Structure 1
């Protein structure tokens, strides 16, 4: 087991920017918002707490990625931001999310509320749920788990076609396993930044 913990100095190095555009945005924050931002540097903060890696197969160990500071993220040409025309997050339920309809509805209600809080200022809307068959996606039975799995990339194509005009993004949620290609065992989710679509299970 390994614990990844970043020092206050490391966090300040990657999070603080002298970019005039970012400085101007920070200066518009009220006292409470600035206090929340400053909590990121505290050792016991929930914002960037320690990460426990339980084995070599954990994502961070098995999928090394180049580091990225906030300014690099901000300047990423593929990063999209909401606009007056594209300001809604749409949630598309695919298949049943629980044993009963009431469980599914409660789950979606919780998810909608979470998205509204986390992505403050954006409108969160629900698309009419669809059965898995409506996606016309490829599927398979996993050899190891014997679970039904649907092709994540084809789900993205399905979501792109259903994406409303005012959508900043559309997110498909399902309780069915996903796989991105035949050689993969499974994937937790897949997204397209350029299409503003994502699928999670």
Structure 2
């Protein structure tokens, strides 16, 4: 296993940039926000860990790319930010992929992302992809297929052997396709990929700085090792595109994880696999709320 650890000075430059105007905008973060972001670059911190490479089949060894720091993200002429009249993210269940999304994309959409049970093969030379996004067109698609624990069994076909007759009021999002049980692990895997693909639509490239949801992944084991959250450098990229208080973002994500719990702690959606992130968000909020200046 190889651990990628960049010097703190390089990480700090990647976060702040070398341009005086971008360094100045960093000062607009609150003292607590700057503490969270800058301390997250230090070796051994408890929130953000370095990238680990487990084999040559992992993304970074097999896809050499230049790291994208905040400055290169900011000056990219093709990066996208929501604007008035175009700030809604639509999620659409689909069978026909990007061409279908292009036809149905609403006029007020910032982007539209399709989900499918069909395994994705953008090119004949590729074995598969978890998802794919078009930055210029504001569209993306990702597949649940390989997130099902039964996908790699010999008996798995991906298609129903017998058509299910739906009752009145029922809705099938994947007509004629086998729909796996929605477990907390499948939901976590799907949230990672959806977040990753929408990040690309904002103009964020694959992260090579720290363990981050914007890291690339070639296989399910690597995808499972990838965290759900953005590293400090990619978090600043997203914040510059949307504009938010970091604490507000983490509170909203916590609310989504905890939403719907009854008195017995049962949830309307399976979020058991999100427990470590729930604890992580609370740890971050303790830092962010320690100083509101």
Alignment CA distance shift 1:10-1:57 (3 Å): same
Q: Which residue of 1 aligns with 2:141?
A: 199
Question: Which of 167, 178, 188 is matched with 2:109 structurally?
Answer: 167
Displacement of 1:32: 3.4
Q: Which residue of 2 aligns with 1:57?
A: 57
Equivalent residues of 1:91, 1:172 under 8 A apart: yes
Q: Which residue of 2 aligns with 1:112?
A: none
User: For each residue in 1:130-182, what CA deviation from the matched residue of structure 2 results, as whole angstroms up to 9, or x when unmatched?
Assistant: xx2xx2xxxxxxxxxxxxxxxxxxx1222122211111111112233101012
Equivalent residues of 1:88, 1:167 under 8 A apart: yes
Is there any run of 5+ residues in structure 1 with no aligned partner, and where? 95-131, 136-154
Equivalent residues of 1:5, 1:49 under 8 A apart: no
Matches of residues 26-45 of structure 1 in structure 2 within 5 Å? 26-45=26-45
User: For each residue in 1:67-103, what CA deviation from the matched residue of structure 2 results, as whole angstroms up to 9, or x when unmatched?
Assistant: 3221011100110111122111111123xxxxxxxxx
Equivalent residues of 2:130, 2:142 under 8 A apart: yes
Displacement of 1:47: 6.4
- Structure 2 counterpart SS, 1:43: coil
Query: C-alpha separation between the residues in 2 aligned to 1:176 and 1:58?
Result: 23
TM-score normalized by the length of structure 1: 0.63
RMSD across aligned C-alpha pairs, in angstroms?
A: 2.1
Alignment CA distance shift 1:24-1:156 (3 Å): farther
Query: C-alpha separation between the residues in 2 aligned to 1:89 and 1:63?
Result: 29
Displacement of 1:42: 2.3
Displacement of 1:23: 3.7
Matches of residues 25-174 of structure 1 in structure 2 within 5 Å? 25-45=25-45, 48-94=48-94, 132=95, 135=96, 155-174=97-116
TM-score normalized by the length of structure 2: 0.45
Query: C-alpha separation between the residues in 1 aligned to 2:20 and 2:88?
Result: 28
How many matched pairs? 143
Is there any run of 5+ residues in structure 2 with no aligned partner, and where? 144-293
Alignment CA distance shift 1:2-1:42 (3 Å): same
- Structure 2 counterpart SS, 1:78: coil
Query: C-alpha separation between the residues in 2 aligned to 1:48 and 1:32?
Result: 16
Equivalent residues of 2:101, 2:114 under 8 A apart: yes
Q: Which residue of 2 aligns with 1:103?
A: none
Query: Is the counterpart of residue 7 in structure 1 residue 4 in structure 2?
Result: no
- Structure 2 counterpart SS, 1:172: strand
Query: C-alpha separation between the residues in 2 aligned to 1:32 and 1:90?
Result: 33
